[in-house]
A and B are shown apart, each in its own frame.
Chain A
Amino acid sequence: DAGVTQSPTHLIKTRGQQVTLRCSPKSGHDTVSWYQQALGQGPQFIFQYYEEEERQRGNFPDRFSGHQFPNYSSELNVNALLLGDSALYLCASSSTISGLHEQYFGPGTRLTVT
């Protein structure tokens, strides 16, 4: 049973560029949440997707957007990258059936903005 997978593992971008990160949820999960973890900090909630719609959002600007596909996989897009966007981006999946509070995390994508 594959867990949560994320791609790419590492990414280096330049200020002003755009980036897309990808996540495949754990088998049987239908909800995907994205978190930003800056160096030395705890994960900060960006948004959550269910049934291909954004269901709730944290305190992040509109430069951060996402998408969920019919197979429950998800993308996180960040436009107009800033140096401060450098962080580990974590995807977590959960199930509306077994309980949304129990989240399984992927290994993350390390984004470096130069």
Chain B
Amino acid sequence: AQSVTQLGSHVSVSEGALVLLRCNYSSSVPPYLFWYVQYPNQGLQLLLKYTSAATLVKGINGFEAEFKKSETSFHLTKPSAHMSDAAEYFCAVSVPFSGGYQKVTFGTGTKLQVIP
């Protein structure tokens, strides 16, 4: 069975500072990994995904994440935080399931606060 652990339910950064949101996963098979962002009262928007190609993945809004197999990590970073980045971020892992389907498991989320 797969699982996702997001370290830190709340993270605060100053505007212009580095954003680092941590995600560790557990999977018995090579996984696909995702970061989603959720703004208040909205659905989830895909930020970026890792699907076994390049280990450094670039996404939208200046975010990127690096897949590190040895550390089972997929941390999300952004060099300079903007006020508009304040939201909740979810890491997710997807693995093959019986019948050729994918089973997606989400972490519990990290709320990012950006301080002016």
Contact = CB atoms under 8 A, between A and B. Distances in A.
Interface string B86-116: 0000100010011101111111110000000
Interface residues of A, number: 27
A35 B105 CA distance: 10
Contact of A45 (B4, B42, B104): B104
Binding site secondary structure of chain B:
strand
Main secondary structure of the interface of A (DSSP, over half): strand
A101 B94 contact: yes
Contacts of A43: 44, 90, 106
Contacts of B102: 100-101
Interface string B51-84: 1000000000000000000000000000000000
**4 closest A-B pairs by CB:** A42-B106, A105-B43, A105-B44, A101-B94
Interface of A: 4, 6, 33, 35, 40-45, 48, 50, 55-56, 90, 92, 99-108, 110
